[in-house]
A and B are shown apart, each in its own frame.
Chain A
Amino acid sequence: MENKSKEWPIWEIFIRSKNGLEHKHVGSLHAADAEMAIENARDVYTRRQEGVSIWAVESIHITASNPENSGELFEPAKDKVYRHPTFYELPIELKHI
Chain B
Amino acid sequence: MDNSLYQYLLILGDNSMILGHRLSELCGHGPTLETDIALTNISLDLFGQVRSYFQYAAKIADSEQTEDSIAFLRTERKYRNVLLVEQENVDFAHVIVRQFLFDGFHKLLLEQLMQSKDETISAIAHKSIKESKYHYRFSGDWLKRLGDGTEVSHKKAQDALNKLYPFTNEFFLESDIEKEMSAKGIGPNLNILKETYYSNIHQIIAEANLTLPIEKQRVAKGKLGYHTENLGYILAELQYMQRTYPNMQW
Contacts and interface: CB of A to CB of B under 8 A. Distances in A.
The finding on whether chains A and B are genuine partners in a shared complex, rather than unrelated, reads: yes
A43 B145 contact: no
B141 A31 contact: no
Interface in A11-67: 29-32, 35-36, 39-40, 42-44, 47
A30 B37 contact: no
A8 B35 CA distance: 12
Contacts, number: 25
Contacts of B37: 40, 43-44
B91 interface: no
B38 A39 contact: yes
Contacts of B41: 43, 47
Interface residues of A, number: 13
Contact of B145 (A30, A32, A47): A32
Contact of A39 (B32, B33, B138): B138
Interface string B109-153: 000000000000000000000000010011001000100000000
Contacts of B141: 35-36, 39
B34 interface: yes
Contact of B38 (A8, A32, A35, A40): A40
A27 B33 CA distance: 15
A91 B33 CA distance: 61
Nearest to B35: A40
A36 B138 CA distance: 9
Contacts of A31: 34
A8 B34 CA distance: 11
A36 B145 CA distance: 10
Interface of B: 32-34, 37-38, 41, 134, 137-138, 141, 145
10 contacts: A29-B34, A30-B32, A30-B33, A30-B34, A32-B145, A39-B141, A40-B34, A42-B134, A44-B34, A44-B37
Per CB-CB distance, the 9 closest pairs between chain A and chain B, nearest first, are A40-B34, A43-B38, A43-B37, A43-B41, A44-B37, A29-B34, A35-B141, A39-B138, A30-B34
